[in-house]
Structure 1
Amino acid sequence: MRNEPGLDAGHEPTNFLYPFIDAQEHDRGSLLVDLAASAQAKAAESAALRRSTVESSAELLAKAAAEMAARFAAGGRLFTFGNGGSSTDATTLATLFARPPAGRALPAWSLTADEAILTALGNDVGFELVFARQLIARADSGDIAVAMSTSGSSADLTVALREARKRGMYVLGFAGYDGGTFATSPDVDACFIVHSQSVHRIQESQALLGYQLWSAVHEQGTEM
């Protein structure tokens, strides 16, 4: 179903993000000026949010990195997962650990990377279990789970985090808005919240948080 004019998939007005869409502007030069100004404003907003998010998360990043480094040193592995755009961010994070630009590779896998497994589990046992079932099959106590989400409340992620907790994993959540259910979940050891109402800005900041987390683990000098 098509969205209503001026509304996104969540029925939120978008003309404040893209005011030139509804503008009755026929001058190409003026339109290009508006486009440039919009892009510059979004870049500035993104940079400011990323900076403030990393600064406010510094203590939590250091604590999480220390725990992850200890688990990697003891033979632990990292499993990441998410839905939609967050699934690609989860895969990027796992790849950063497994095939880093510098330092030693660490065992990390994205649970969203194998479409055969995802579709088989979704068809056979239901989509809410696509990540939990993979953790049951692959994860052990001492491993690490990272769930990436903009809402922090997706059912399949919360079910997987509950399973991760049962298995003795160290559990991290990445969320936006107010953190959703991740923020208060007893199944989450560390929750990184990007306080924004924009999915785009949330995911941009989460990408930087993921890089900062990898960098902090790398600096721990983990020896495998």
Structure 2
Amino acid sequence: MTTHDSESTSFLYPFIDSEETDAQSLLDDLAASARGKAAESARLQKESLDEYGDGLTAAGIDMADRFRRGGRLYTFGNGGSSTDAATLASLFSRPARGRPVAAWSLAADQAVVTALGNDVGFDLIFKRQIIAHARDRDVAIALSTSGNSDDLMTALTEAKQRGLLTIGFAGHEGGRMAAMASAGELDFCYTVHSQSIHRIQESHAMLGYRLWSVAQEHMTRPAPNSVEAS
């Protein structure tokens, strides 16, 4: 490992830089680090589920109603959150059990993303896709560890104006996503209160799974006073 590589990863495993010569002691430190991170992740997931239980249920029921009417799900995010958005879309569109629904990650098509980024600007890569494809029965979910990404905010604003159900997953203190939710400009916002990007994304995955679970449960129930789209 080069000096640069060591410096760039020392914040993850600071004990590695202590010039440990005892292999067993190093293994013990690694195991303790892994256990500590797993415990913190489990704590955050539980706290987030406890805090947002009612909101997740309400959103999941609304999603189920929209899916029964032919609604589609659009997910989006940047960087690691883009990968999480793709995983969430796949959970809804290709579930291991239950009813699949139409779901897409808006960052999945490289040609579309790069064309929009080049032609109209990166801040509009998701908004323009919402304009092109979304209908008022659809659902938009944005994932951001900061809650402040411009391209996500503009897409959520456009989706809300078009009548989509809008959901934001944020981290830290919630950023602009939380402010939008407080102002009634975002239907639901779930903020994972942590400074660790890794722990935030792990909790986002759990919250997304809970949304899917609630939606699946309610899609199997009869929908009173509604007609499913053919």
With structure 2 as the length reference, what TM-score do the two structures score?
0.89
1:64-99 deviation per Cα after TM superposition (whole angstroms, max 9, x unaligned)? 011111111122111000001101111111111111
Give the alignment of 1:41-120 within 5 angstroms.
Answer: 41-120=36-115
Could you tell me how far apart the structure 2 residues matched to 1:21 and 1:167 are?
A: 52
1:133-171 deviation per Cα after TM superposition (whole angstroms, max 9, x unaligned)? 000100011211000110011010001111111211110
Question: More helix per residue: 1 or 2?
Answer: 2
Amino acid at match of 1:178: E
Give how far 1:221 is off: 2.6
1:99-125 deviation per Cα after TM superposition (whole angstroms, max 9, x unaligned)? 111111111111011111001111111
**Equivalent residue, structure 1, for 2:225:** none
**Equivalent residue, structure 2, for 1:19:** 14
- Find 1:128's aligned residue among 114, 119, 123: 123
DSSP-derived class of the 1:93 partner: helix
Could you tell me how far apart the structure 2 residues matched to 1:3 and 1:212 are?
A: 40
| 8 Å contact kept, 2:178–2:189 | yes
Amino acid at match of 1:157: L
Give how far 1:24 is off: 3.2
Could you tell me how far apart the structure 2 residues matched to 1:59 and 1:23 are?
A: 46
Could you tell me how far apart the structure 2 residues matched to 1:91 and 1:128 are?
A: 19
**Equivalent residue, structure 2, for 1:177:** 172
Give how far 1:46 is off: 0.8
Does the alignment pair 1:146 with 2:144?
no
Could you tell me how far apart the structure 2 residues matched to 1:165 and 1:71 are?
A: 15
**Equivalent residue, structure 1, for 2:198:** 200
Gaps of 5+ in 2: 223-227
Gaps of 5+ in 1: 9-13
Give the alignment of 1:203-214 within 5 angstroms.
Answer: 203-214=201-212
Could you tell me how far apart the structure 2 residues matched to 1:174 and 1:7 are?
A: 28
DSSP-derived class of the 2:76 partner: strand
Could you tell me how far apart the structure 2 residues matched to 1:171 and 1:22 are?
A: 45
Give how far 1:40 is off: 1.0
| 8 Å contact kept, 2:93–2:100 | yes
**Equivalent residue, structure 2, for 1:161:** 156
With structure 1 as the length reference, what TM-score do the two structures score?
0.91
| 8 Å contact kept, 2:65–2:219 | no
Could you tell me how far apart the structure 2 residues matched to 1:128 and 1:7 are?
A: 29
Give the alignment of 1:30-45 within 5 angstroms.
Answer: 30-45=25-40
Residues matched between the structures, number: 217
| 8 Å contact kept, 2:68–2:219 | no
DSSP-derived class of the 2:16 partner: coil
Could you tell me how far apart the structure 2 residues matched to 1:158 and 1:3 are?
A: 35
Q: Which moved more, 1:143-152 or 1:181-190?
A: 181-190
